[in-house]
């Protein structure tokens, strides 16, 4: 038996914040604004898993109104989501980061390692892609960054 989930997250870029994607601190003139570290990639993975489990979304489990999640490391949040898997295991995840800048290719291997470790799965089960929107929309204009994730969960044997 399998379950499929889709996750999406987007945050505004702002001065004075770090840019964290997949747990990697990426040098950039702006970072993502949010209650936690605003790691859109990891948030999309969390939402995809929660969706596959029919358990709502990241905001339900880690609400911005709860001060314990202020500036929280999103990989920690992902580990909390993983604790909800019960009789399911990660088959694979496929993600896409949508950002005009900075260029992300050099950071993707470490992002994959971070996510695989937090997911407790093999590196070959984690895929990360990055794309631009050719100057269109809020990501293309450099106003924010978004991420999508699809996850396949397998019934644990």
At the topology level, CATH places domain 2-155 in 60s Ribosomal Protein L30; Chain: A; (3.30.1330)
pLDDT tens per residue, range 62-72:
988 888 888 88
User: What percent of the chain is predicted at pLDDT more than 70?
Assistant: 100
* pLDDT at residue 67 in the model: 85
Distant-in-sequence, close-in-space partners of 131: CB < 8 Å, separation ≥ 6:
96, 97, 98
Sketch the domain layout of the chain as residue ranges. 2-155
**Cα dihedral sign for 121, 57, 68, 43?**
positive
C-alpha 120/C-alpha 32 separation (Å) is 26
pLDDT tens per residue, range 81-98:
999 999 999 999 999 999
pLDDT tens per residue, range 120-150:
999 999 999 999 999 899 999 999 999 999 9
* pLDDT at residue 92 in the model: 98
């Amino acid at each position: 038996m399998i379950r499929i989930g889709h996750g999406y997250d987007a945050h505004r870029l702002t001065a004075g914040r770090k840019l964290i994607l997949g747990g990697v601190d990426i040098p950039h003139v702006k970072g993502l604004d949010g209650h936690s570290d605003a790691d859109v990639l990891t948030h999309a993975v969390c939402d995809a898993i929660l969706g596959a489990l029919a358990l709502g979304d990241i905001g339900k489990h880690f609400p911005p109104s709860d001060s314990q999640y202020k500036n929280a490391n999103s990989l920690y949040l992902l580990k909390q989501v993983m604790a909800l898997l019960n009789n399911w295991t990660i088959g694979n995840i496929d993600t896409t980061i949508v950002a005009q800048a900075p260029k992300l290719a050099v950071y993707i291997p470490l992002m994959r390692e971070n996510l695989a470790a937090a997911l407790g799965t093999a590196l070959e089960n984690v895929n990360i892609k990055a794309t631009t929107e050719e100057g269109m929309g809020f990501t293309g204009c450099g106003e924010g960054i978004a991420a999508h994730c699809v996850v396949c969960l397998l019934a644990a044997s």
